[in-house]
Every structure is written in C-alpha cells, then in structure tokens.
Amino acid sequence: MATEVQGPYQYLEARPGSNYRQLFLKGRRIRAVVMYNAVRGSDPRTPEEVARDFGVPLEAVIEAVDYVERNPTVIQGDWEREESSLRARGLLDGPSQS
C-alpha cells in the first residue's frame, strides 16, 4: 500500500511491525499524531510546552505537526483501521459498519 510520506524527516521514522502506517518519533513509541493532537487538539499547548512535556526537541514536535498536516490519508487510514479493530473485538458501542 502506498503512503503519502513526505520527507526526509530527521526526528520521525516508521516502526517495523507496527499496525500503524504513520511515522513515530525516532526511538520512542510516540506516533506523530499524538504530537499533532497535543498542539492542535481540543486542549492545545504550544509546541514548546509539548516538547518539554514529552522530553523531545522542539524541532521534533514541529516536524510531527508538519508530517500529519501533509499526510491526512495516512492518519485517516490508521484511525479507520484502529476503529474497525476495536469494533470487531466488541470494544466500541454499536454494530459493525462493514
């Protein structure tokens, strides 16, 4: 399956064996979308605050936000696969939408 990965990224990498297609912070189990949501989500913080809170370079946060904004289909696909998996295991309310 082709992805829209833009790069190269200094602080992001794929995680071999992961069910997620989006990139992660290098050497960490933190998906790029986690950084994005911390900066752009419902309770946003500044990139500097997020970098401090997660103990990562500011540039890693900025890079993760950029990656998510440039690769919406990758992020959406991960979300859909995760939701489908949870629903199939009976961990979400409501009937399957297959």
Residue range 20-24: average pLDDT? 96
pLDDT for 92 equals: 78
Give the CATH number for residue 65: 1.10.10
Task: Look up the domain containing 74 and give its range.
Answer: 12-87
Q: Has residue 58 been placed in a domain? A: yes
Q: Has residue 6 been placed in a domain? A: no
Q: Has residue 20 been placed in a domain? A: yes
pLDDT band of residue 97 (cuts 50, 70, 90) is: low
Retrieve residue 33's tokens: 């979308």
Q: Has residue 44 been placed in a domain? A: yes
pLDDT band of residue 3 (cuts 50, 70, 90) is: very low
Q: Has residue 5 been placed in a domain? A: no
Q: Has residue 61 been placed in a domain? A: yes
Please give the tally of structural domains in the chain. 1
pLDDT digits (tens, 9 = 90+) for 39-95: 999 999 999 999 999 999 999 999 999 999 999 999 999 999 989 988 888 887 765
Residue range 8-30: average pLDDT? 94
Q: Has residue 92 been placed in a domain? A: no
